[in-house]
Structure formats: C-alpha cells, structure tokens
Amino acid sequence: MTEVFFFALAVFTVAAALLVVLARNIVHSAVALIFSFCGVAGIYVLLDAEFLAAVQVLIYVGGITILLLFAIMLTTRIASGAEVFNEQVGASAVVAVGTTAILIYASLVGIQISGQAPATRETTSTLGRLLLTTHVLPFEVASVLLLAAMVGAIILARREGE
C-alpha cells in the first residue's frame, strides 16, 4: 500500500518539477512549484516526518511561492512569447541527465542499508529538544542569518533616496 502511495507521490512530484522547469508561462511554473512542494511534503509524511511536512507546506507553499508570485507580478510581462531557454539547453540537458544518472547509480549501489530504523515517536517534541540542546548554537546562528537576510532584503529592495 505504501509503495503505491510512494510511486504516486514520486511521479506527481517529478512531473510537477518538470513542469516548473519546462513551462513557457512563468506563472504556470510557480503553480507547478506549489504542487511539487506538496508532493515532497507527502514524501515527508511517508518518512514519518510529519512536523517537517507541515513546515514544508507552511514555508515553501505558503511563504516562498507567494513571494515568488509577487516578484513575478512586479517584474515580468507575463506570456511574453520570447524564448524561455538560453542557448546552452543541449549541453545542460546532457550534464543534468549525466549527474542524475551518477546520483541514481550512487544511491542504488553505493549505499547499502537494508531495513528501517525504528520510527521515532513524538518527532516534534524530540526535534524541539534537539534544537534547543545539541544544536542550539546553529539554531541561534540561523536566527542571526534570518535577521541579516531580512535587513539585506529591505535594503536591496528599497528605492534610492527613500
């Protein structure tokens, strides 16, 4: 049963991702990105990471994609018939396929782990405890990073002389 779910989600996710990359209309790309993110969230659920699934939906779907849509609305003339891809499409396709092949080869052959570790119960509270004990320093650094990003974004997006 889970296999069925997995394959359905995987196909859905990759298909949406392909749509993101290939769509001629940038708004279509953004909407496909939402679906792809939701598919990844489903994959997280299959991996017993419910909290991260929720975070994924909240931040990626609810936050980043909306931000992207704003930027699209502010900048692009939608469906402006112009060329979507640059001149290095062919070479890029070869490199991307090659990289993917190598990665798949590595994950099929290079990593031999059979069987799952027992699932951790109460992932959310465990995560919270980890964040505030073992990983408290990176956690604080991340908060500083977010602050810096916020200030940076404001300064960059501000018009001169405002």
Partner 1 sequence: MIPLSYYLTLGALLFGVGMFGALTRRNAIAILMAVELMLNAVNVNFIALSRYLPNSTLDGQVFAIFVITVAAAEAAVGLAIVLGLYRNFKTVNVDEINLMKW
Partner 2 sequence: MMEYIWLVPAFPLVGVVINGLFGRSYLRERAHLVAVPAAGLSFLVALLIALEVVAGRTLDLHLYPWIVAGHFQVPIGFLVDPLATVMMLTVTFVGLLIHIYSIGYMHGDPGYPRFFAYLNLFMFSMLILVLANNYLFMFLGWEGVGLCSYLLIGFWYEKKAATDAGNKAFLVNRVGDAGFLLGLFLLWTTCGTLEYGAIFAQTATLQASLTAPAVGGVSLVTWITLLLFIGAMGKSAQLPLYVWLPDAMEGPTPVSALIHAATMVTAGVYMVARSSPLYSLAPPTLELVATIGALTALFAATIACVQTDIKRVIAYSTISQLGYMFLGAGVGAYASGIFHLATHAFFKALLFLGAGAVIHALHGEQDLQRMGGLRRPLKLTAYTFLIGAAANAGVFPLAGFWSKDEILFAAFTTGHYGLWALGLAGAFLTAFYMTRLYCLTFEGPFRGDPAPARHLHDAPPSMALPLLGLALGSVVVGGLLGYPPEHGLVHQFLAPSLAAAPEAAGHASAWLLAGLSLGVAGAGIGAGTLLYLRWRDVPELLAARFQRAYRLLWHQYYVDELYDAIFVDGFLRFCRLFWKVDENVVDGAVNGTADVTMRVSNGSDWNDIKIVDGAVNRIADIIQGCSATWRYVQTGLVQNYLMAMVLGIFLIVSLYMVL
Among 18, 62, 79, 140, binds partner 1 (CB under 8 A): 18
Rounded least distance, CB 74 to partner 1, Å: 6
Given a contact cutoff of 8 angstroms between Cβ atoms, the answer to whether 20 and 33 are in contact is yes
CB atoms within 10 A of CB 31: 16
Instruction: Tell me: does residue 64 bind partner 1 (CB under 8 A).
Output: yes
User: Which tokens hold the place of 2?
Assistant: 């889970």
- DSSP state at residue 118: P
Length, in residues, of the chain: 162
Rounded least distance, CB 148 to partner 2, Å: 19
Among 119, 137, 161, 162, binds partner 1 (CB under 8 A): 119
Among 8, 62, 79, 131, binds partner 1 (CB under 8 A): 131
Instruction: Tell me: does residue 125 bind partner 2 (CB under 8 A).
Output: no
User: Which tokens hold the place of 30?
Assistant: 């953004």
Provide Rg for the chain, Cα atoms. Answer: 20
- Where residue 101 falls (left for φ over 0; alpha for ψ -120 to 50; beta otherwise) is alpha
User: Which tokens hold the place of 33?
Assistant: 């990105």
Please, which residue, 93 or 148, has the CB nearer to partner 2?
93
Rounded least distance, CB 98 to partner 2, Å: 6
Residues 49-108 that bind partner 2 (CB under 8 A): 86, 88, 91-92, 95, 98-99, 102, 105-106
Q: List residues near partner 2 by CB under 8 A.
A: 86, 88, 91-92, 95, 98-99, 102, 105-106, 110
